[in-house]
Amino acid sequence: MKYDVIVIGGGLAGLTGAIRCAEAGLKTVVVSAGESALAFASGAIDVFGIEKDNALVEFPFAAIRHLPSMHPYQKVGTGSLQQALTFFTGQMAAAGIPLNNHGQQNHGRLTALGAIRPAWLSQEGTVSLPLRTSTEDLRRVAIINIAGFRDFQPALMAAGMQQQPGFCEVEFILADIKTETLNINTRNAYELRSLELSRTLKRDLFSQPNGMNILSSALQKAAGNADLVVIPSVLAVEGGNDLIRQLETLTGLRICEVATLPPSLPGMRMASALKQRFRQLGGMFLEGDQVLSGCFEEHQLRSLKTRLNPDMPISASHYILATGSFFSQGLASDRHHMTEPVFGLDVETSQSRDQWSDSRFMDGNQHNFSHFGINTNEQLNPYRNGQKINNLYCAGAVLNGFNPVQEASSGGVAISTGWFAANRIIATMPQAEETC
């Protein structure tokens, strides 16, 4: 079976590239083994938020000009990065998720631990804070949970926020809304996680004509006269941003939902919107199959073997590898080696094994292993035994040369490299319609 493009991996990088290809009229398939990192992600997009010296970045597009040449942003260039983000914002809007940005500037997003992380795009259901929050308009912050939901801890969040310079004077209101108040039937609330809770709310509360009113008056009662009300993101996967907006109208409060411990509903919402968009554009999304290996000929990838159809290889003129990092199994390691498990592409590790990670796992220093990944040329083509593979492109967390966590750059890198790879492919395909 022959396609124009096969994308391996259906995370943020793979889907962005796939949507771009499908939109250009290319016959595109995504093969994705399982859940992507989006199910854990905040649902906001970081572009570049933290400098090497841990200073917060106010102007990400200006700051990335100083990155080393091996960084993916230097390969795609600032122009492509901005075009890719514009493209992504447009696609998400078309799928019903408007995203907010502040032009050249980063904004702050609240985490469930009360930190303020620099982000560039945020969903409407969250409140963008100034990066360095001043308390001018924030005197009282209410953090409200649904009683028994254990993946969000208001007290922990408040303690975290109090450590931020802008919040030391703020008064915190911590409260729980009882499940009986919402008439929801959770026989064992301790079993409940974000996704299950959203389903229970849908079934028992939002299905009632006055459901939103019950929730809004409970929120009003709990939040008092707070200037900002923080709730865990448990209301809904799809349509969650609209529910927050309706609640704001009903209560007159300023409400911010925060992604909880996984599964993260805002991240899942983004994943589901991307898949929907891809299908609407005629793309084929094959979930649950896994690419096992490839057949190479003359520096070209010719076909792929998958787990479910091992004796029927699938082939395309071009391929994008967007299999993610270690957790998604895009990279693998044993005691001595780091490998790319699907094709055995050349991986950059540079140091010896004992330098891979910092011996103190969580003390804030970066681990070298998060820098590792597939080595590519300027066009994002990888190498195999030193030979460049011309019709294969790599995108997202599988790439080397950047540190997604330390720099707060993972979303921007995934989107821009996925988009860039797609554009390289489109440029070589005569049948592609130039749309952008």
Partner 1 sequence: MLNIIDTSFDNCIKCTVCTTRCPVAEVNPDYPGPKQAGPDGERLRIKNPALYDEALKHCTNCKRCEVVCPSGVQVGTVIQLAKARHDGFKKGPREFILSHTDMMGSLSASTAPVVNIATQLKPVKKLLDKVLGIDQRQTLPKYTYQTFRRWFKQQKAQQTRFDRQVSFFHGCFTNYNDPTVGKHLVAVLNAMNIGVTLLKKEKCCGVPLIANGFFDKARKNAQLNMGQFADTLADSECVLATEPSCAMTLRDEYPEVLHVDNHAIRERILFAAAFITREFAKGNKPGMKPLNLRVAYHSPCHLIKQGGVIHTMELLNSIPGLDVMMLDQKCCGMSGTYGFKKENYQTSRNIGQGVFDQIEALNVDYVVTDCQSCKMQVEMNTAHKVMHPLTLMAQSLI
Ligand X SMILES: Cc1cc2nc3c(=O)[nH]c(=O)nc-3n(C[C@H](O)[C@H](O)[C@H](O)COP(=O)(O)OP(=O)(O)OC[C@H]3O[C@@H](n4cnc5c(N)ncnc54)[C@H](O)[C@@H]3O)c2cc1C
Least separation in angstroms between residue 315's CB and partner 1 is 9
Cβ proximity to partner 1: between 30 and 229 the closer is: 30
- Answer with the entry of partner 1, ligand X, none that 193 interacts with (C-beta below 5 to 8 A by kind): partner 1
- Answer with the entry of partner 1, ligand X, none that 324 interacts with (C-beta below 5 to 8 A by kind): ligand X
Least separation in angstroms between residue 35's CB and partner 1 is 5
b/e per residue 383-420 (b: at least 16 CB within 10 A): bbeeeebebbbbbbbbbbbbbbebbbbbbbbbbbbbbb
Contact 18, 329 (CB under 8 A): no
Cβ proximity to partner 1: between 173 and 189 the closer is: 189
Residues that bind partner 1 (CB under 8 A): 1-2, 27, 29, 33-35, 39, 185, 187, 193, 195-196, 199-200, 203, 263, 272, 275-276, 279-280, 282-289, 306-309, 311-312, 314, 329
Least separation in angstroms between residue 11's CB and ligand X is 2
- Answer with the entry of ligand X, partner 1, none that 410 interacts with (C-beta below 5 to 8 A by kind): ligand X
Least separation in angstroms between residue 308's CB and partner 1 is 2
Least separation in angstroms between residue 25's CB and ligand X is 23
Residues that bind ligand X (CB under 6 A): 8-14, 31-34, 36-38, 40-42, 44-46, 290-291, 322-324, 328-330, 342, 396-397, 404, 410-411, 414
- Answer with the entry of ligand X, partner 1, none that 307 interacts with (C-beta below 5 to 8 A by kind): partner 1
In angstroms, the CA 28 to CA 281 distance is 10
Cβ proximity to partner 1: between 111 and 329 the closer is: 329
- Answer with the entry of partner 1, ligand X, none that 185 interacts with (C-beta below 5 to 8 A by kind): partner 1
- Answer with the entry of ligand X, partner 1, none that 291 interacts with (C-beta below 5 to 8 A by kind): ligand X
Cβ proximity to partner 1: between 140 and 279 the closer is: 279
- Answer with the entry of partner 1, ligand X, none that 411 interacts with (C-beta below 5 to 8 A by kind): ligand X
- Answer with the entry of ligand X, partner 1, none that 314 interacts with (C-beta below 5 to 8 A by kind): partner 1
Least separation in angstroms between residue 203's CB and ligand X is 28
Cβ proximity to partner 1: between 159 and 292 the closer is: 292
